[in-house]
Amino acid sequence: MKIAVIQGPNLNMLGIREQHIYGPMSLEQIHDQMKTSAEQNGVELEFFQSNLEGEIVDRIQESLGTVDGILINPAAFSHTSIAIKDALSAVNLPTVEVHISNIYKREEFRQKSITAAASTGVITGFGPFGYHLGLISLSQIVSEMKAVENAQTEASQNG
């Protein structure tokens, strides 16, 4: 199973930016931890971070046919980007949106996620551990989908 991990703007600044909100871990440290737990569960991860909306749209489009699911923190674009929401809807892959902070506890402009409407589920407010929770949830969803697909293929082969 392959999962694309897509990180939005300013997440490359984790560990430096607003530590009282996002904590001390860098993005690299978060990704290293995810890699370790993914390997233990036979999951392959492809990491991508960009500060540019169009690059994120491109990366989502490239996910079609190359990965089984998307774990995404669109960061500030969550609250503004119809283009990212549309790209997620277009590829229609199992998707989990993660936010490190609890967006519902913050400024009003962060309390709505446009992109969340295109995701299977959202994890918000658990700090970097949210990525781990997201990975577990997404792996489970993808495994269940694959099991259903296999059962359907088998049933059609058996006439």
Question: Among residues 31, 79, 99, 131, which one is catalytic?
Answer: 99
Question: Among residues 22, 31, 131, 132, which one is catalytic?
Answer: 22
Phi, psi of 111 (to 5 degrees): -80, -5
**Nearest approach, Cβ of residue 11 and ligand DQA (Å):** 6
If the CB atoms of residues 102 and 120 are measured against ligand DQA, the closer one turns out to be 102
Phi, psi of 99 (to 5 degrees): -125, 135
**Nearest approach, Cβ of residue 17 and ligand DQA (Å):** 8
If the CB atoms of residues 68 and 122 are measured against ligand DQA, the closer one turns out to be 122
Name the token pair of 74.
């669109």
Distances (CA, A) of 132 to 82, 92, 97, 124: 26, 22, 12, 12
If the CB atoms of residues 4 and 100 are measured against ligand DQA, the closer one turns out to be 100
> Does residue 99 carry a catalytic annotation?
yes
> Does residue 131 carry a catalytic annotation?
no
**Nearest approach, Cβ of residue 107 and ligand DQA (Å):** 8
Question: Of 147, 143, 144, 139, which is closest to residue 38 (Cα–Cα)?
Answer: 139
Residues that bind ligand DQA (CB under 6 A): 10, 73, 75-76, 78, 99-101, 103, 110
Distances (CA, A) of 29 to 71, 129, 139: 17, 12, 21
**Nearest approach, Cβ of residue 106 and ligand DQA (Å):** 7
If the CB atoms of residues 6 and 93 are measured against ligand DQA, the closer one turns out to be 6
Active site residues: 22, 99
